[in-house]
Amino acid sequence: MTLQQLQYFVAACEHGSFSAAAEELHLAQPSLSEQIRRLEAELGVRLFRRASRGLIVTDAGATLREHAERVLAEVEAARDSVAAVRELRGGTAAFGTFGTSRYYPGTEIVAAFRRHHPAVRVRFVGANSSETAEAVREGELEAGMVSLPVDDRGLDVRPIMRDEIVYASCARERLARPMTIEALAHAPLILPDASFGNEDPTRRQLNELAQRAGVRIEPIIDVEDVEASVELARDGLGDTILARGMIFGLGPAALGKLGWVPFKDPLYDTFAFITRRGVPLSPATREFLALAEQRFAEHARVLGARGDRRRDPGG
């Protein structure tokens, strides 16, 4: 039994004639009649009786018609639902991110996407780049934005922008010159992403540099988020590092008397889009990714034009 046979059968029921049903379906009448005969042979029953006024549906045919119409309606609904997703009239854009994305175009992308596609749900989740990479790898999310480096096993990674990292302190003497990795190893550091530790991309980058220099990076305070590390550094309990995009996002009130300097050998957070290798994206997530790329390109131009690579303590 095929969907085509059910479609022909229902059309014949509605019209009471093989020729009228074939005409509606733009078929040759013998082709339609042959498919009905095959359906009857498979089921082992007669579905129609011929009468002077046309076809009469048998009891078996009436029973089948009820089921056939329901099946065809479900198939049509399935087609419509797929079309809705394809045309962005439904579906879900599933996207992972890093924890500080709200200070970049993260939530701005969500807002813009929803304005353009109000019928599409958005799932925008993630606390850390390593967590997001694993979720995309396992198929829990379709795509994501991460800070490099991450484990790229099974992933396609496409860098989109970089943001310079600076060293921030209230102590003027520790900001007298650009920071080095050797000096950082002796600084009273407050670092975020305590739960992820050395899996955090920025910490991984620092540890790799420290290892090559023969020193160790050991914070005096570990906290969960960048906001907490900035607040503690602002209160003079230690120093921290943060990207210039975070400075821009947090604003003067959150930074207080903190000053900052760049690293002698410039250090960057590099952001990238990730997707599962060889797996096509849904239309909604593909559109979300295109919008994210556009907004990150704009953000990179804004950051590149800013002249705040250093600031003296005191605001």
Q: What DSSP letter does each residue of 198-253 carry, written as one string? A: GGSHHHHHHHHHHHHHT-----SEE-SSHHHHHHHHHTTS-BEEEEHHHHHHH-HH
126 shares a domain with 19: no
- Give residue 92's pLDDT: 82
- Give residue 89's pLDDT: 55
Last residue of a domain, one of 62, 86, 110: 86
76 shares a domain with 23: yes
296 shares a domain with 268: yes
Last residue of a domain, one of 86, 115, 143: 86
How many domains does the structure of the chain reveal?
A: 2
Q: Per-residue pLDDT tens for 51-96?
A: 877 888 999 999 999 999 888 888 877 775 665 455 555 678 888 9
Residue 72, H or E segment: helix 59-86
62 shares a domain with 38: yes
Q: Which CATH number covers residue 40?
A: 1.10.10.10
- Give residue 82's pLDDT: 64
CA distance 91 to 83: 10
97 shares a domain with 36: no
Supply φ then ψ for residue 82, to 5 degrees: -65, -40
Last residue of a domain, one of 58, 86, 114: 86
Instruction: State the amino acid at position 207 in one-letter form.
Output: N
**37, 40, 29, 35: which is closest to 64 by C-alpha?**
40
User: Hey, what are 59's tokens?
Assistant: 């009891």
214 shares a domain with 192: yes
Domain of 48, in residue numbers: 3-86
* Number of residues assigned to the chain: 315
173 shares a domain with 79: no
CA distance 110 to 95: 10
167 shares a domain with 227: yes
- Give residue 233's pLDDT: 96
Residue 312 lies in a domain: no
Residue 198 lies in a domain: yes
10 shares a domain with 106: no
Supply φ then ψ for residue 9, to 5 degrees: -60, -45
164 shares a domain with 71: no
Residue 21 lies in a domain: yes
Residue 311 lies in a domain: no
Q: Which CATH number covers residue 165?
A: 3.40.190.290
Residue 315 lies in a domain: no
- Give residue 67's pLDDT: 92
Residue 310 lies in a domain: no
243 shares a domain with 129: yes
49 shares a domain with 131: no
Q: Per-residue pLDDT tens for 194-224?
A: 887 778 888 999 999 999 999 999 999 999 8
Q: Which stretches of the chain score pLDDT less than 70?
A: 80-90, 127, 315
Within 10 Å of residue 192's Cβ, how many Cβ atoms? Answer: 26
